[in-house]
Amino acid sequence: MSENVSGPTATLAIALEHATRLLAVDPAKAEQQSRAILEAAPGHPHALLLLGMALRNKGDAAAARGVLEPLAKSQPKSAPTHFELGLVLTTLGDGEGAIAALSRAVKINPKLTHAWQMLGDLHTLSGDTEAADAAYAQHIKTSVNDPKLLQAAVALTETKLAVAERLLREFLKKHPTDVTAIRMLAEVGARLGHNEDAEHLLARCLELAPSFTVARSNFATVLYRQNKCLEAIAQLDALLKGEPRHPGYHNLKAAALARIGEYERAAESYRTVLKAHPDLPKVWMSYGHTLKTIGKTAESIAAYRKSIELAPALGEAYWSLANLKTFRFTRDDFNAIRVQLNKKSLVEEDRFHLHFALGKALEDEGDYQESFEHYAKGNALRRKGIQYDPRETTAYVRRSKAFFTADFFRAQRGHGHPAPDPIFIVGLPRSGSTLIEQILSSHSQVEGTMELPDVISIVRRLSGRKKKSDTSAYPEALGSFGPEEIKALGTEYLDRTRIQRKSERPFFIDKTPHNFLHIGLIHTMLPNAKIIDARRHPLSCGFSCFKQHFARGHNFSYNLAELGRYYADYVDLMSHFDAVLPHRIHRVFYEQMVENPEREIRALLTYCKLPFEDACLRFYETERAVRTPSSEQVRMPIFADAVDHWRHYEPWLDPLKLALGPALKSCPATQKF
């Protein structure tokens, strides 16, 4: 035994206290002290706990696990033991085990503040946002002492957000610099979707308390949610200086890097997380998405396969494989999907993803009837979980036609930012827009980016809406803007998108389909930008949308009748802009591009005022990141076999045809219909 416990007056209590003090300053000596105590008192629970803590602090998590796991079994009601085991398992990358250990710790002692925070982080990593929110709310509740704040924290844990907001605002009137209250109010704002308000509150919080790590982590998250990715990355880098191995920070940084087109760096961040936490299926899946985007198909398949190995019911991973378009499922895959679909316990999100995946697998097999049945089931389940009213789109189109008149555009002539840099490709998803983007990106003067959120962000601000039920002031608000304000909108768009431009090429592409809704704004603020309408046979495009599960933003696509109505609204609005802005928009019909690529490509380049380059004909040789469902297809030459593929499903498309109405005849290919 060491000299500290071998003297005649030494006691076990003194020895344990000394070992505890050594933990933070010299874990190696703390280990020696703990082992010495255990020689004198074999199996002593407190000494074993100290030994486990010392080993973890030394960096030997595997040895710590060997001590703490048996101790946790023998001491099932020891919250500190389960908490320490959770820390060790987190370090070792056993997220599931860590969640179990920490959950036991807080069940025994609900006041373990740090354990709640760690549970929130681990649930976030695993993709369980509901459990993460609950854990973070408990973390807030256990970290406050003021009775008034505790009331607000209780309301937050019970999801009584209006009550929590009222209590916090009352408290902050008397204590305007209380950073805990400010952070809690920001949490309420974030839960309500008011991310801009949450951002301002957290910025103030960090101004008052720069070392408030939890607030900085929240700040990074709300910045990311608003597509302020550079700012989010800056906050995450600051956090990683203090905790360089924190998996949550690396994971969010990877997602932010991917959003700004830094895919190689994003992949490296995902690898960092997975090296420390190899059992996280949703992180493997995100890693697969990134690998797919940069054209590493075999590696992306391996990543998706790994996520399925870890979570056999993870429907999104199966759908991600199907969404490669060139991938084919094996018999074993078919069986595995059917096994999962037969489970009553399968959660709805996994179920609809599996229906979409099986629909694609059966389509590849030529079993179109059963394929459609699964597509229909997947769409019906997805539609149940979203809020979408097609009347709102129709009303918006009507208002836009009334506001964006020829007289309005004549009055705006000479206003706006003169830069010709952006090339907007608009239309519906699955209309051939990625093909057009790939062709243009093969030109030496054009850079492809991705579907950029920046026009939508500007529109959201102009609308003035705080919640969905509010009346939008857009587009009518533009009527009060003077020339400088209009030009400032163009400047804002160019500034916001600059992060996406990785080369010195003078032109860049924004391929956000729904920007067709905002052509009036685009032309007003950027009168020299190019606008290309990608159009495809309504039934071909419509069914292609229906069989595609989109991650977000295409809520019209999960019901054939609603899909047809949306397409009809699109055709109506585009016809209006053709009338009030003649020759402003260049239209590319997918079927004509397939039929005569060179003719259509030459016309496209002429519209863009670009000299012809042979590379545009060999677009499939261009190496670049492609972040759409068509990423694999545009890396191959044009094939005509997809043009009439929808006809295999024609017997079930009557609701789509009926809703399309006159729009069914809106492109040359329909004349043969």
Q: For residue range 3-21, what is the model confidence (pLDDT) as tens digits?
A: 444 443 357 888 888 888 8
CA distance 317 to 97: 22
> For residue 176, which amino acid is it?
P
With bands split at pLDDT 50, 70 and 90, how would you rate the model's confidence at 547?
very high
**How far is it, in rounded angstroms, from Cα 298 to Cα 330?**
16
DSSP category for residue 507: E
Place of tokens 């700004």: 260
Residue pointed to by tokens 């959120």: 453
Long-range contacts (CB closer than 8 Å, 24 or more residues apart) made by 230-238: 230/260, 230/499, 232/256, 233/257
Residue 624 has pLDDT above 60, yes or no: no
HEC string of 209-226?
CCCCHHHHHHHHHHHHHC
What pLDDT does residue 93 have?
82
The H or E element that residue 510 is part of is strand 507-510
Please give the average per-residue pLDDT across 401-409, as a whole number. Answer: 97
Over the stretch 447-490, which tens digit does the pLDDT of each residue have? 998 889 999 999 999 998 877 778 899 999 999 999 999 999 99
pLDDT in tens, 236-278: 999 999 999 888 999 999 999 999 889 999 999 999 999 988 9
Q: What is the pLDDT of residues 100-154, one digit of tens each?
A: 999 999 999 998 988 998 898 898 888 888 888 888 888 888 888 888 889 999 9
Rounded mean pLDDT, 432-456: 92
Asked whether residue 169 carries a pLDDT value surpassing 60, the answer given is yes
Q: Domains of the chain by range and CATH? A: 412-672 (3.40.50.300)
| Residue matched to tokens 């010495």 | 36
Q: Give me the pLDDT at residue 638, please.
A: 66
CB 29 within 8 A of CB 57: no
End-to-end CA distance of the chain: 92
Is residue 655 over pLDDT 90? Answer: yes
Looking at residues 53-75, what average pLDDT do you find?
92
> Average pLDDT in the 503-519 region?
95
pLDDT at 641: 64
**Residue 412: pLDDT over 80:** yes
Predicted confidence band at 161 (pLDDT cuts at 50, 70, 90)?
very high
* pLDDT over 90 percentage in the chain: 70
pLDDT at 8: 36
Share of the chain above pLDDT 70, in %: 95
